[in-house]
Amino acid sequence: MRPTATRPTGHGTTSRPWTRLCSAAPITAALTAALLAATPLAAATSAHAAAPARTSTTQGRDPRLMRLIDSMTLRQKAAQLFVVQIYGMSADTTDPADVAANRALYGVDNAAQLIARDQPGGIIYYGNNVTSPQQLAAFSNGIQRAARGAGHGVPATIAIDQEGGIVARVGAPATQQPGAMALAAGRRPADARALARITGTELRAIGVDTDYAPDSDVNVNPANPVIGVRSFGSDPALVARMVTAQLGGYRSANLTATAKHFPGHGDADTDSHTGVPVIRHTRAQWESTDLPPFKAAIAAGADSIMTGHLVVPALDPSGDPATLSHPIVTGILRDQLHYRGLVITDALDMQGVRDKYGDDRIPVLALKAGVDVLLKPPAGQFATQLDAVVNAVRDGELSQDRIDQSVYRVLDLKQRRGLFRAPYVDESRVGAVVGTPGHLATARRATDRTTTLVKNDPQPGGGTLPLTPGPRSVYVTGWGTSTTATLATEIGKYGTTAAAHDTGLSPGPAAIAAAAAAARDHDLTVVVTNRAWDTSTADGHNGPGQADLVKALIATGRPVVVLAVRDAYDINAFPDAPAYLATYSYTPDALRAAAATLFGANRPQGRLPVAIPAAGNPGQTLYPFGYGLDYPRK
């Protein structure tokens, strides 16, 4: 940020006829010429018709792209290697807060001014850029108009993190995937592929051509602070199957997907946003655990792979993070795995890549390592990093050929996405593509298959699952104001009276006592947890409050059902809970499916994509990989 496996085609040094890139159907030479006439490629072809032949290292590449590269200045080439963030909800925003933020970052008011001045290769959207799919389509068209009018007129890559589940920048009415680990719980690659195709189709409709998904990490560390449910699980083979399926789905929508975070972020115990994770796998462990999903992604023709800001001593003992490691990016990814697609960094404002070197050295070292694209420079550092790349070429630290290699990969991917031919989207068609009834129904069906019932001990008072629909008083408490309210609404559809009360991420003794008192006045309590296993009292952790809340509710003697809406590991903090389900996300669809499962309207079909260890004893397994209960069939 994530089909049948085939050999990679069209990556890096593999040429394609221009007619295949302009249209899925054959087109005439006259039409080809007409299409070319309106693109930067046409101008480059005309201006450099007599350009000398390239060296053997460029053989097999599209000559139009090579001539376009020849027409660019060194600074324009270097700028093509950056994907930057921007504030605002339109390319020409005049909103005072957004203008102030952009001036602090770049010294310009908005995206249009930044593109006119610096011509960066791409823009990444975040949640603060989005109000609706319609608005985002207009924003994307504004970016492409600015790019077309700037310098060489190369269209912009427009990217986003739309993994699904807990990482989704575009919310409803766009179709929401349940997230990687939820899909893995459903064990259906066909669902993963279908939802990737839907996500890709909807993103293309709003002008986004690149999704930094699927997450391809194997989450073998239950305490991983940054990956967790973003991963498809702890089994390399399962993760590889689901990654391959999603790549196929995205490709069928003509969207660039990105397998991340190479060489594998799944055993991290440090968040690379705030520190430097060290992965202590041996080479053999890495090859058996972390490598298979990336190897499968390459075999499936992944267009893009993102590096992780993590140190892997078994792969490179220098202490450099993978993003800056020539032995990892070039030695392993390029030379040993024969990957020829685009390599992009994780965001360069993350501490995991900034701990050892200054911001001016990081982009140069990344390019020397073999990276192609530099994502999201630190605040106020874009000009510094762009200058650093330009100066590194002028000083001989980076060769012109090295820059041209990466620029070619960037332009080739834009060409294969059709951005030179058709950079704009039809804003009037957004509503006919995004969040259609068919798309939403597919997402609902897939989500229904993900809910996992881990424990279902007999409880008094009709509290054993599945519950009988009809009059009863249900108290919905625990984490999340909108989560508890949405769940209460869904539970109310089964003839109950449901009251919601959010106790927060780290409830204190007073909040716990109040919730327990309220529970005594209801027939049943459903308590929502979010990373309740994280009981550490250190800064940045949740603390024991959620676990204490669950234990206090159990002590009331009333029936209790625990619903873990993120990590499935929560039950190790309260193993005596009588009933426990995992949803792996808190999307409205996940909560709807959970409520349906509570009342037997949906069978609990999910199976754990990870093993749940005992608290404080990782060697002891409470519930194994693949575990999951079902209801007796009637």
Q: Which residues of 361-400 are buried (b: 16+ CB within 10 A; e: fewer)?
A: ebbbbbbbbbbbbbbbbbeebbeebbebbbebbeeeebee
> Do residues 213 and 246 touch, judged by C-beta distance below 8 A?
yes
Is-catalytic flag, 346? Answer: yes
The encoded tokens of residue 170 equal 């575009």
> Do residues 186 and 232 touch, judged by C-beta distance below 8 A?
no
Residue 287 burial by Cβ neighbours in a 10 Å radius (0-12, 13-18, 19+): middle
* d(C-alpha 249, C-alpha 244), whole Å: 9
* d(C-alpha 337, C-alpha 356), whole Å: 27
* d(C-alpha 129, C-alpha 120), whole Å: 18
* d(C-alpha 614, C-alpha 596), whole Å: 29
Beta strands in 273-354, from DSSP E residues, in sequence order = 304-307, 342-344
* d(C-alpha 485, C-alpha 501), whole Å: 8
Is-catalytic flag, 152? Answer: no
The encoded tokens of residue 134 equal 């319609």
Q: Identify which of 156, 176, 94, 83 has the alpha carbon closest to the alpha carbon of residue 126.
A: 83
Q: Identify which of 521, 522, 411 has the alpha carbon closest to the alpha carbon of residue 63.
A: 411
Q: Which of the residues 346, 448, 502, 523 is marked catalytic?
A: 346
> Do residues 277 and 352 touch, judged by C-beta distance below 8 A?
yes
* d(C-alpha 18, C-alpha 31), whole Å: 11
- Residue 236 preceded by cis peptide, ω within 30: no
Using alpha carbons only, what angle is made at residue 363 by residues 314 and 1, rounded to the nearest 5 degrees? 70
| Beta carbons within 10 angstroms of residue 24's beta carbon | 8
Q: Identify which of 147, 383, 343 has the alpha carbon closest to the alpha carbon of residue 263.
A: 343
DSSP 8-state code for residue 200: H
H or E stretch covering 106: helix 96-106
All residues at 6 or more sequence positions from 335 whose CB lies less than 8 Å from its CB, including other chains: none
Question: Which ranges in 253-290 belong to alpha helices (H)?
Answer: 283-289
Q: Give the phi and the psi of residue 412 in degrees, each rounded to 5.
A: -60, -40
Q: Which of the residues 273, 360, 387, 501 is marked catalytic?
A: 273
Using alpha carbons only, what angle is made at residue 596 by residues 625 and 454, rounded to the nearest 5 degrees? 20
Catalytic residues: 273, 346
